[in-house]
Amino acid sequence: NLSEKTKMGKTPPEVDTYIKDHRSEFEEDLFELLRIPSISVDSQYKEETARAADWVATQFDRLNFHTERIETSGHPIIFSQSPMVEGAPTALVYGHYDVQPPDPLDEWISPPFEPNVREGNVYARGATDDKGQMLTHFKSAEAWMKTKGSLPLNLIYLIEGEEEVGSENLEHFIEKFQDKLACD
């Protein structure tokens, strides 16, 4: 049962405390992902893009979520589902682990795949689009799982590696697996 406070959208204090206490670990995870040059448009980076997909899948595996790495004619799609909470709504979370090329390199103050913190902001290719944003969805679920033992809702994650090149294989995946993606 969820407390009235949680039902109204308030985060329990222990979840907030977990996030604060693990901030440096979360940042290290983000930096690790940002160091992977998952440039989907350039075939020279195919292995690195696949490595980013594996990194994402591992994050879900650590939470004991049901996780699948689905091969496509391009880059893998990661599908993951939290443990089922009976009677709770289901939310679908989308993200992508691929990035644009960092050109022109001479306009970067610091190397594009070596995270740099300046004035409280993280600078690296993908820091906000979309690796950083995507990671917040993993880490918030982790905080709930570690402090409460379960989530207050069911989560389905759909994470792709082709957003920066038009998501060609995503449409095929959605058509084929509509039942898997059913949500509220």
Active-site residue numbers? Answer: 98, 163
Q: How far is CA 168 from CA 133, 134, 139, 145, in A?
A: 22, 20, 28, 33
- Round to whole Å and give the CA distance between 81 and 156: 5
3-state per-residue secondary structure call for 83-116: CCCCCCCEEEEEEECCECCCCCHHHCCCCCCCCE
Q: Tokens for 38? A: 């998952």
3-state secondary structure 136-149: HHHHHHHHHHHHHC
Q: Which residue has the tokens 């084929």?
A: 176
How many residues are present in the chain? Answer: 184
